[in-house]
């Protein structure tokens, strides 16, 4: 509030600002004081008189628009000031109010108008910023591919897109530098939706930690830090941002059909565009390496569940260690090997007891096989195809009908642990172990899911409910059921949605909420993927 008349300031001070959805953050008696307050407090709205000493209201208005373009200005005027008020409105002032007739209702309406103008301006700025970032991402993607000429065409001048995001924001690409790649692992059909959600979650974290995120693909976001950060400080920022992002994913993105996994790869220092492209190629290797790196380095199984040494007692055998779902990697991963005839022969010899004797399978699959795979370190696609081919060739008669489905699961395994779980489940089916005789924790997990299908369900929540770590429960669940926890939840939600569509008159978005999927767009896409038709086509079916 700005006015040189103390009685009016006192009257305005007594207004019930909270009922207007506003907070009074400062008072001034002239334009100079008000301008200093605007620099310190960054108000959304300034309510100012026109006629004042030192700096009048119109001059103040012009200075505010020059220095703080988002701030909305409401003018207070006497009858004799109408000509000034009309001029201010022409220049962009929000509203003018007459002092002698001013009441709370007038102020409330003016503030509502200010709120609408602020939201419109901020929406425009967000859209413009996102468009600039999209252009920058195209240029950066070209640089990462080693195509600087294509990057230069994304804006005026060589590497122009990276000079600034806006006049108020710092440079985002200066050499020497490091970059970080946020890698997102999710179901392929989910990635587009996941990216949109993650982009929204990332924006406040970027501002908080001084990072600039540019999506260079559906599953990769390059995080560019401000220049001059030490490695220790950069690591601290990345770990804090990644940890918070992981928490947000855990609490808000609980409805996707597969678990959303996050990791960040921090590059070595790069001095030019050629080094930038080389560092990107190294970062891409981590996507393959995480197939093995996610298995850890052999720490004790007791770390993998809350019960300590109770894994064997529960019938689970030694747990395969995994690292947290959100991890920070740096440097170059260990090299990979290609599949050869000698490796194929070694694998067949290793697996011969599994094909011949059920008693030898458990230890072989859970212990010897992971050790052999980690030692050989085949390219993940080579290993998956080797295992799938062996399984189809050696599946016994009871499993031949489903051998193709098991092979497809092996080929889709995202980690070595998941691949082993698929094999264990397949051979346990051959042994005829009924599901009802399985582990108590898995049965309790399934029951809890059925009773809370409409609620946000996370692996962490379920693991806490049954007293295991999330990693250990995930492994047990897949081994016993043949599907991941997220896949099981999604299948039940789709079945329930189909029942509700067929037996009720609930709107589609209401059914989506009842089955625990708050995103209408994602629910519709997921339903179509499962049943080959839109939800609206299932009415009365």
Q: How far apart are CA 195 and CA 5, in angstroms?
A: 54
Helix, strand, coil proportions of the chain in percent (round to 5)?
A: 60, 10, 30
Return the DSSP state at 321: P
- Cα 57 to Cα 73: distance, rounded to the nearest angstrom: 10
In contact, 273 and 291? CB cutoff 8 Å? no
How would residue 350 be classed by pLDDT, with cut points 50, 70 and 90?
A: very high
User: In terms of C-beta distances under 8 Å and separation of at least 24 residues, what long-range contacts does 379-384 make, across chains too?
Assistant: 379/288, 379/336, 379/337, 379/338, 379/339, 380/288, 380/291, 380/292, 382/338, 382/339, 383/291, 383/339, 383/416, 383/419, 384/410, 384/411, 384/413, 384/419
* pTM, 2 dp: 0.71
- Over the stretch 189-238, which tens digit does the pLDDT of each residue have? 899 999 999 999 998 999 899 888 999 988 999 999 888 888 899 999 99
3-state SS, residue 424? helix
User: Residues 186, 219: contact at Cβ < 8 Å?
Assistant: yes
30 or 316: which carries more pLDDT confidence?
30
Average pLDDT value over all residues in the chain? 82
What tokens does 305 get?
């569940």
Q: ∠ CA 325-329-331 to the nearest 5 degrees?
A: 165
Report yes or no: 209 and 243 within 8 Å, Cβ to Cβ: no
Q: Which whole number is the average pLDDT over 282-292?
A: 88
Query: Exposed, middle or buried, 11 (CB in 10 Å: 0-12/13-18/19+)?
Result: middle
How far from chain centre, in Å, is Cα 358? 43
Report the CATH superfamily, name and number, of domain 441-541. Homeodomain-like (1.10.10.60)
Residue pair 145/274 in contact by the 8 Å Cβ criterion: no
Q: Which residue has the higher pLDDT, 136 or 452?
A: 452
Residue indicated by tokens 């008000």: 34
pLDDT at residue 406, as a whole number:
87
- Residue 262 or residue 402, greater confidence: 262
Please say if the pLDDT value at position 312 is more than 50.
Answer: no
Reported as a single tens digit per residue, the pLDDT across 467-509 is 888 888 988 898 888 888 999 999 999 999 999 999 999 999 9
Q: How far apart are CA 436 and CA 448, in angstroms?
A: 15
The first and second tokens of residue 343, run together, are 């490796």
pLDDT at 331 over 90: no
Structurally, at CATH architecture level, domain 6-120 sits in 3-Layer(aba) Sandwich (3.40)
Assigned token pair, 91: 């220049």
CA distance 309 to 346: 33
Q: Which residue has the tokens 């988002």?
A: 70
Higher pLDDT, 96 or 65: 65
Residue 194 CA to residue 217 CA, distance in Å, equals: 12
242-245 CB contacts, 8 Å cutoff, 24+ apart: 242/182, 242/326, 242/328, 243/326, 244/205, 245/198, 245/201, 245/202, 245/205, 245/326
The order of strands in the sheet holding 95-98 is 45-49, 72-77, 95-98
The fraction of the chain above a pLDDT of 70, given in percent, is: 84
Instruction: Please give the Cα distance from 106 to 73 (Å, whole number).
Output: 15
- Tens digits of residue pLDDT in 140-178: 888 888 876 665 554 433 344 444 333 344 445 678 889
**Coil, helix or strand for 272?**
coil
Share of the chain above pLDDT 90, in %: 37
The pLDDT tens digits of the residues spanning 97-126 come to 888 778 888 888 889 999 999 998 888 888
Q: Are 64 and 35 in contact (CB under 8 A)?
A: yes
DSSP 318: S
Which is more confidently placed, 135 or 193? 193
The pLDDT assigned to 325 comes to: 43
What six digits make up the tokens of 274? 């050629």
Rg of the chain (C-alpha set): 30
What ranges do the domains of the chain cover?
A: 6-120, 170-331, 336-433, 441-541
The pLDDT value recorded for residue 383 is 97
Q: Give 125's Cβ-side CA count (13 Å radius).
A: 12
User: Residue ranges of the alpha helices (H) in 312-402?
Assistant: 341-356, 361-363, 369-376, 380-394, 397-400
DSSP output for 124-160: HHHHHHHHHHHHHHHHHHHHHTT-HHHHHTTSSSTTG
> 170-331 — its CATH code?
3.30.70.100
pLDDT in tens, 234-252: 999 999 999 999 999 988 9
């Amino acid at each position: 509030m700005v006015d040189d008349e103390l009685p009016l300031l006192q009257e305005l001070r007594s207004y019930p600002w909270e009922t207007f959805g506003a907070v009074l953050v400062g008072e001034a008696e002239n334009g100079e004081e008000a301008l200093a307050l605007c620099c310190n407090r960054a108000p959304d709205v300034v309510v100012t008189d026109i006629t004042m000493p030192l700096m009048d209201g119109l001059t103040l208005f012009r200075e505010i628009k020059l220095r703080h373009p988002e701030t909305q200005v409401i003018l207070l005027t006497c009858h004799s000031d109408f000509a000034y008020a009309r001029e201010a409105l022409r220049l962009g002032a929000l509203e003018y109010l007459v002092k002698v007739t001013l009441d709370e209702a007038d102020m409330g309406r003016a503030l509502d108008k200010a709120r609408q103008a602020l939201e419109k301006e901020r929406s425009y700025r967000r859209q413009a910023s996102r468009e600039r970032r999209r252009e920058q991402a195209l240029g950066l993607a070209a640089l990462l591919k080693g195509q600087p000429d294509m990057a230069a065409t994304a804006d005026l001048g060589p590497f122009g897109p990276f000079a600034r995001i806006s006049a108020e924001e710092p440079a985002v690409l200066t050499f020497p530098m490091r970059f970080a790649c946020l890698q997102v692992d999710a179901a392929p059909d989910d990635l587009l939706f996941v990216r949109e959600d993650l982009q929204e979650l990332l924006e406040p974290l970027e501002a908080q930690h001084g990072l600039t995120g540019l999506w260079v693909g559906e599953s990769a976001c390059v995080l560019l830090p401000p220049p001059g950060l030490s490695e220790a400080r950069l690591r601290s920022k990345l770990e804090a941002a990644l940890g918070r992002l992981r928490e947000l994913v855990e609490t808000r993105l609980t409805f996707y059909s597969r678990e959303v996994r996050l990791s960040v790869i921090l590059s070595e220092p790069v001095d030019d565009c050629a080094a930038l492209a080389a560092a990107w190629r190294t970062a891409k290797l981590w996507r393959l390496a995480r197939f093995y790196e996610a298995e850890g380095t052999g720490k004790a199984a007791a770390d993998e569940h809350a019960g300590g040494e109770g894994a064997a007692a529960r019938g689970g055998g030694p747990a395969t260690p995994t690292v947290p779902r959100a991890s920070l990697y740096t440097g170059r991963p260990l090299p990979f090997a290609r599949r050869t005839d000698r490796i194929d022969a070694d694998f067949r010899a290793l697996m011969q007891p599994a094909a011949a004797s059920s008693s030898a399978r458990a230890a072989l699959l859970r212990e010897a096989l992971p050790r052999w795979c980690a030692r050989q370190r085949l390219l993940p696609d080579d290993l998956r195809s080797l295992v799938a081919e062996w399984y189809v060739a050696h599946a016994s008669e009871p499993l031949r009908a489903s051998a193709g489905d098991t092979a497809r699961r092996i080929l889709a395994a995202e980690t070595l642990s998941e691949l082993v779980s698929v094999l264990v489940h397949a051979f346990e089916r051959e042994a005829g172990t009924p599901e009802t005789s399985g582990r108590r924790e898995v049965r309790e997990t399934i029951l809890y899911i059925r009773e809370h299908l409409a609620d946000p369900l996370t692996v962490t929540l379920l693991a806490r409910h049954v007293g295991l770590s999330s990693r250990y429960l995930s492994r047990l669940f897949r081994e016993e059921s043949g599907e991941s926890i997220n896949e099981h939840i999604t299948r039940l939600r789709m079945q329930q949605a189909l029942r509700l569509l067929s037996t009720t008159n609930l709107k589609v978005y209401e059914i989506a909420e009842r089955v625990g999927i708050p995103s209408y767009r994602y629910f519709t896409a997921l339903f179509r993927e499962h049943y080959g038709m839109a939800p609206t086509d299932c009415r009365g079916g």
